[in-house]
């Protein structure tokens, strides 16, 4: 079913906001009335930002709790997005990441996602695997119930974390990512390396911390929420091991040196950033994941 945002719906949204209803309550009402959440969210955002632009600044209207996802329209030097993202204005095929040109292989608006080519050189991938290999142990996931870490049956990979800036190689890669995504090195978690053996997988999940879980307040004291993920492929399994996005039926093939980036402007399924690591069917899979936080991560 196609859903059209009519002038009547826009007027209703503005009336709700003016009456002081929180955007989340308006969104809930729309979903209960049969609107697809993503369509409702888009309608809400566009209607309210249009409406705000027409109002005097002294008259506040509540806005959806989202970060500004698009960049200002002026020159490249002033590109300072409110979320990590590459500068895709002008549809470039290659992006300047400081010490390397990175290819834009594919992009999607929702989820906000970009597939990069040539982010790491083959030698950098090999060096990362070699440095990580002796330090691998069964992957833990952050436990939002308690704020601690625990073994998770949905994640059968092995993993380790590098400290930020731990070696020259790590610092170089972090600086490149910061330049590519216009997000400071200080706002990133340490690079995590994962190894999947045949049969290993990472079942679909969100990378943000669920605000409804009791441990989330503690976890987000350091750097706030996660706002984006970059999964870098360090090798190529023979079969299987793609990164899947079930909400949109997308699977990104693991190709050494390439990466998939996705951002989430709020910790909510409407971002459509549900994703997983499909089971490795033959061979091994190695990836490095960089999670970006909204503030400095200390």
State the binding partner of 144 from Zn ion, ligand PD2, none, CB within 5 to 8 A by kind: none
| Listed residue (208, 194, 215) closest to 271, CA to CA | 208
Residues 23/48, Cβ–Cβ less than 8 Å: yes
> Mask 131-170, x = binds ligand PD2 (CB under 6 A)?
----------------------------------------
Among 30, 177, 194, 232, binds ligand PD2 (CB under 6 A): 194
Q: Which of the listed partners (Zn ion, ligand PD2, none) does 243 bind, with a CB threshold of 5 to 8 Å by partner kind?
A: ligand PD2
Would you say 45 or 207 has its CB closer to Zn ion? 207
Least distance from Zn ion to the Cβ atom of residue 204, Å: 9
Near ligand PD2 by CB under 6 A, which window of 72-80, 116-124, 209-217, 271-279? 271-279
- Kindly indicate which of the ranges 65-73, 104-112, 143-151, 269-277 contains the residues binding ligand PD2, using the contact rule CB under 6 A: 269-277
Pairing of strands 94-96, 149-151: unpaired
Q: Please work out the total of residues on this chain that contact Zn ion, with binding judged by CB under 5 A.
A: 1
Residues 198-237 that bind ligand PD2 (CB under 6 A): 202, 207, 229, 231
Per this entry, what is the length of the chain?
A: 298
Residues 73-92 within binding reach of Zn ion (CB under 5 A): none
Q: Outline where DSSP puts E strands in 246-284.
A: 250-252, 259-263, 275-277, 280-282
DSSP secondary structure of 80-118: --SS-----TT--SEEE-SSSEEEEEEEETTTEEEEEES
Member of 16, 156, 225, 243 binding ligand PD2 (CB under 6 A): 243
**Binding positions for Zn ion, 198-227, rule CB under 5 A:** 207
Helices assigned H by DSSP within the chain: 7-18, 23-32, 37-53, 122-132, 168-181, 216-219
Q: What is the dihedral of CA 213, 218, 220, 221, to 10 degrees?
A: 160
Cβ of residue 254: shortest distance to ligand PD2, in angstroms?
7
Residue 220 partner contact from ligand PD2, Zn ion, none using kind-dependent CB cut-offs of 5 to 8 Å: none
* Signed CA dihedral, 53, 54, 60, 64: sign only: negative
- Please report where in the chains the tokens 């955002």 appear, as a residue: 45
Q: How far apart are CA 198 and CA 211, in angstroms?
A: 34
Q: How far apart are the C-alpha atoms of 173 and 48, rounded to whole Å? A: 39
Residue 277: contacted member of ligand PD2, Zn ion, none (CB under 5 to 8 Å, by partner type) = ligand PD2
Q: Which does 116 bind (CB under 5 to 8 A by kind): Zn ion, ligand PD2, none?
A: none
Nearer to Zn ion, 45 or 201 (CB): 201
For residue 144 the two structure tokens come to 């939002």
Residue 58 per-residue DSSP state: T
Closest CA to 155 of 280, 69, 2: 280
Burial of 37 (C-beta count, 10 Å sphere; 0-12/13-18/19+): middle
Single residue of 81, 84, 267, 276 touching ligand PD2 by CB under 6 A: 276
Under the binding rule (CB under 5 A), the answer on residue 174 touching Zn ion is no
Contact set with ligand PD2 (CB under 6 A): 194, 202, 207, 229, 231, 243, 275-277, 287, 289
Contact set with Zn ion (CB under 5 A): 207
């Amino acid at each position: 079913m196609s859903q059209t945002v009519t002038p009547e719906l826009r007027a209703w949204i503005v009336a709700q906001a003016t009456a002081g209803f929180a955007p989340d309550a308006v969104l809930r009402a729309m979903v209960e009335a049969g609107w697809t959440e993503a369509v409702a969210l888009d309608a809400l955002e566009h209607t309210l930002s249009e409406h705000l632009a027409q109002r005097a600044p002294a008259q506040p209207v509540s806005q959806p709790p989202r970060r500004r996802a698009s960049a200002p329209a002026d020159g490249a030097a002033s590109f300072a997005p409110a979320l990590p993202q590459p500068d895709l204005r002008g549809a470039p095929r290659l992006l300047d990441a400081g010490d390397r040109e990175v290819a834009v292989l594919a992009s999607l608006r929702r989820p906000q996602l970009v597939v990069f080519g040539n982010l790491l050189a083959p030698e950098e991938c090999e060096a990362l695997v070699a440095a990580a290999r002796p330090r691998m142990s069964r992957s833990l996931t952050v436990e939002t119930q308690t704020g601690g870490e625990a073994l998770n049956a949905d994640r059968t990979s092995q993993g380790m974390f590098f400290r930020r800036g731990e070696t020259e190689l790590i610092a170089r890669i972090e600086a490149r990512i910061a330049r590519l995504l216009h997000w400071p090195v200080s706002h990133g978690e340490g690079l995590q390396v994962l190894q999947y053996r045949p049969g290993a997988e990472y079942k679909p999940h969100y990378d943000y911390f669920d605000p409804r879980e009791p441990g989330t307040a503690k976890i987000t004291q350091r750097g706030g929420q996660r706002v984006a993920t970059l999964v870098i492929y360090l090798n190529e399994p023979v079969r299987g091991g793609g990164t899947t996005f079930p909400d949109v039926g997308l699977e990104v093939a693991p190709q050494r040196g390439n990466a998939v980036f996705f951002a989430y402007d709020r910790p909510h399924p409407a971002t459509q950033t549900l994703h997983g690591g499909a089971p490795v069917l033959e061979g091994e899979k190695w990836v490095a994941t960089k999670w970006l936080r909204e503030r400095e991560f200390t």
